[in-house]
Structure 1
């Protein structure tokens, strides 16, 4: 893989990483409620889901999802349903819902699971890897090594995006410091998650 390919891949990849979506919205919400560190660590669940998707794309199994209308819509409906569930929870969340030190391991596992399920419940993400990464793969060179390199770079940039969105959420927590402000912020995030679920339901295979 040459430098010219990387010079094209990196900005295009980072644009995908930074695009607003349900996972990035979760980073904002988690940072505003539980702190910057918790939101960044919870993003590991998303990275785990994306690692699996990249592996599927590298061996061509994602083509099964693209070919199977039933599987695509099944994953889409489950994923949208989970987003609606998260939106409902966030809408009814009590203000000052901060993580306590004794609850940190359980809370982190739960937040990471949320990130994983939201990412895994979006079949369009797998198709993005199927359509995006192969554009930068040279068929004359070893395919597995190139997919591994591109996938690692994608995950690294995704971690940067997680950190940036979490930092944004940390500052939003300061802006919405009062219980009334926290409730307003939670409900705004809930509305955006519900909107993301609606967009996911309307998504079609490409």
Structure 2
């Protein structure tokens, strides 16, 4: 893979990822509702979903999107449904002020799966990899070493984009640490998460 291809792919991915979609919206909502660290499993789920699409394009499996269209639809609706479930949980936590500061244990794996399914069911993500990757990279020359390079680049670029969003959301949560403000923040985060689910469903 040439330097031109490397930087072209990195730049295109950075620009596309920097525009907040349902996945990043869900990650931000998680950071707002439960804190910076708890959002990382969702971020890794989002990144893995992107790498899955990258792998599909490189392996020449673009036809899967058409052949198994119903599977993608099911994944999309499952992801949206789980986001709504998380939003409801945040909304309920906003109805009660925890004066003792106790927190329920978080299931990181479920959060990971939620953003993975969102990414796999997001048409924007699929179209990016189907359209941009073949345009900037000669796929006929991509072997295992080049695929590994692309996967690492994808991971680094996406993490670099997502982390500032999570940090800002986490800081906002720290600044609004009073019980009543936290109650309002949890409900706001629930609204963001429900909005992300709506974005997914509205795309049909």
TM superposition shift of 1:164: 1.1
1:99-153: CA deviation from partner (whole Å, max 9, x where unpaired): 57xx4xx643343333333333435423332222222212552355444433321
139 and 159 in structure 1: CA distance in 2 versus 1, 3 angstrom threshold: closer
Residue 9 of structure 1 corresponds to: 9
Q: Which region of structure 1 is more displaced relative to structure 2, 11-20 or 52-61? A: 52-61
SS for the counterpart of 1:20 is coil
46 and 188 in structure 1: CA distance in 2 versus 1, 3 angstrom threshold: same
Residue 90 of structure 1 corresponds to: 90
TM superposition shift of 1:168: 0.9
For residues 18-97 of structure 1, the aligned pairs below 5 Å read 18-40=18-40, 42-94=42-94, 95=97
C-alpha root-mean-square deviation of aligned residues, in Å? 2.9
Distance 2:108 2:68 in 1: 35
1:62-102: CA deviation from partner (whole Å, max 9, x where unpaired): 422135543343333333222222222222224557657xx
Unaligned runs of 5+ in 2: none
TM-score relative to the length of structure 2: 0.78
Number of aligned residue pairs:
200
Residue 168 of structure 1 corresponds to: 168
Question: Which structure 1 residue ranges, 4+ long, deviate > 6 Å from structure 2?
Answer: none
SS for the counterpart of 1:93 is helix
Query: Does the 8 Å contact 2:42/2:111 carry over to 1?
Result: yes
Whether 2:186 is the aligned partner of 1:183: answer no
Residue 199 of structure 1 corresponds to: 199
1:4-55: CA deviation from partner (whole Å, max 9, x where unpaired): 2333322221122222123222332333344333333552233333332322
For residues 108-147 of structure 1, the aligned pairs below 5 Å read 108-139=108-139, 141-142=141-142, 145-147=145-147
Distance 1:140 1:65 in 2: 21
Unaligned runs of 5+ in 1: none
SS for the counterpart of 2:12 is helix
1:147-167: CA deviation from partner (whole Å, max 9, x where unpaired): 443332111111112311111
Distance 2:2 2:30 in 1: 38
Distance 2:83 2:148 in 1: 30
